[in-house]
Amino acid sequence: MQEIGLIVYPDFQVLGLSMCAAFELANAIAGREVYRVSLLSDGGGLVRTSAGFAVDTQPLLTRSFDTLIVMGDNHATSISAQLVAYLGRCAPASRRFGSICTGAFALAEAGLLDGRRATTHWCHARDFQRSYPRIKVEEDRIFINDGKIWTSAGMSACVDLALALVEQDLGSDVARQVSRQLVVYHRRAGGQSQFSVMLELQPRTDRIQAALAYAKENLKAELSVNDLAEVAHLSPRQFSRVFQAETGQSPAKAIENLRVESARLMMESGGHLIDSVAMITGFGDRERMRRAFIRAYGQPPQVIQRASRA
């Protein structure tokens, strides 16, 4: 059985606790107690969450844990000296340890991330890099695994991290079953961007949302304004006007961004030739995709693919 210690402190982000469900479901699917989760804090007892209610915790213990994870908060608050000392003393003895969101600041303060790759919530990443220049911060990642250290972005990324840990321990099939039980997509790859074109567009009406959802599922198709307008039950002229008003982009630009994002994810996941990616994502040929990548990222797809492989 694997002991997992989740380290919390006052006003920690309550969404981090959702990763416990992944371990709970993994136990049920495996038919045995693979994981036992403990909540830890400086002095033990009740610890207030960001939502205002409190959770019961055990005091930081000298006993070893297979996995230690430091929770994050909304404001990157100061980490207690006791917690920093505990991490420096006990984390290296664990098979793996890591952080969610701003919990990476605690690992960094303990010197555990020096010379390592790490990530955190995108809105704190720049401050994180300035405060700890010896860390290679990759701000646009869902999670990063560097040796025995796992760091993740904020909020819902804790579920992706938990699924990755389950997959490492019990295999991809169990992790897939857990994700189905959680009613989430099978875990996002660690290299996936924290940002999403769909989130950036944020259309207000169901009609434009339906058109975008259709486009995302049919990137290989032509996806003309007439096609999307038909899905939205609007005339092409009315559709273009409403789409621009709601998203701040033309339909053509939004479709290009969706294709670029999908192509990038395919290349980062590995195993895809650039010509194949261009066809699958609707660019049609690699030159058209190259021009779109340069507009979006300032780099051709080959550079991003090589960086991902490295």
- pLDDT over 90 (residue 136): yes
Highest mean pLDDT range out of 27-41, 118-132, 143-157?
27-41
- Tokens 């402190």 locate to 9
- Amino acid residing at 4: I
pTM (two decimals): 0.68
Beta bridge pairs of residue 144? 151
End-to-end Cα distance, the chain? 34
255: left (phi > 0), else alpha (psi -120 to 50), else beta?
alpha
For domain 197-309, the CATH superfamily is: Homeodomain-like (1.10.10.60)
Quote the radius of gyration of the chain (alpha carbons, Å).
22
Looking at this protein, which amino acid is placed at residue 154?
Answer: G
The pLDDT value recorded for residue 309 is: 64
Question: How far apart are the C-alpha atoms of 295 and 98, rounded to whole Å?
Answer: 35
With a cut of 90, say whether residue 174 has pLDDT above it: yes
| Dihedral Cα 92, 93, 95, 101, nearest 10 deg | -40
- Residue 271 pLDDT class (50, 70, 90 cuts): confident
The reported pLDDT for the residue numbered 193 is 54
Contacts of 32 (CB under 8 A, 6+ apart): none
Residue 187 has pLDDT above 60, yes or no: no
**Average pLDDT value for the chain:** 89
Checking if the pLDDT of 11 tops 90, the result is yes
Classify 244 as helix, strand or coil: helix
Cα–Cα distance for residue pair 52/74, rounded to 1 Å: 13
Closest CA to 23 of 226, 127, 167: 167
CA-to-CA distance for 85 and 91, rounded, in angstroms? 10
CATH of domain 2-182: 3.40.50.880
pLDDT above 90 covers a percentage of the chain that reads: 65
Give the start-to-end residue ranges of the domains of the chain. Answer: 2-182, 197-309
- Is 90 exceeded by the pLDDT of residue 3? yes
- Tens of pLDDT, residue by residue over 50-62, are 999 999 999 997 6
Cα separation values, 210 from 8, 112, 198, 216, 241, Å: 40, 46, 12, 10, 16
Q: Name the E strands within 80-126.
A: 96-100, 117-118
